[in-house]
Amino acid sequence: MDNEIVQQLAFFALNFALILSTLLFYAIFGWVIANWLIMFGILSPMNRAFQFLTQLVMPLLKPFRWARIGMIDLSPIVAILALDLAMTVMRNVVTQFI
C-alpha cells in the first residue's frame, strides 16, 4: 500500500515538472518572438505582457548569458536544452526506481 502511494506521488511530481518545463519552454519561445517584434518596431518594450515574460524568463536565462556568438544571444537555446536535459534525467530516475 505504501509503495503505491509513493509511486503515485512520484508520477504526480514528474507530471507537474513536465507541465512546468513545457510552460517555461513556451515562455522562453514567446519572449524570443516578442524580442524580435520589439526589434522590428511592432511591439513596444513597455508592453505589460513583454515585461511579464521578461520577469519570468530572465532568471532562467541569466546563467546562460555566456552563450553568445558576436551579437547573437544563444542563451534561450541553451536554457531550453538544459530544461530538456533536466526533464529527461528526472523522467529516467523516476521510472527507474518505480
- Number of domain units in the chain: 1
Which pTM value belongs to this model?
0.86
Q: Which residues contact 73 (CB under 8 A, 6 or more apart)?
A: 65, 67
Q: Give the residue numbers spanning the domain of 71.
A: 2-97
Give tens-digit pLDDT for 1-56.
578 888 888 889 889 999 999 999 999 999 999 999 999 999 999 999 999 999 99
**d(C-alpha 42, C-alpha 65), whole Å:** 25
Q: Is 41 left (phi over 0), alpha (psi -120 to 50) or beta?
A: left
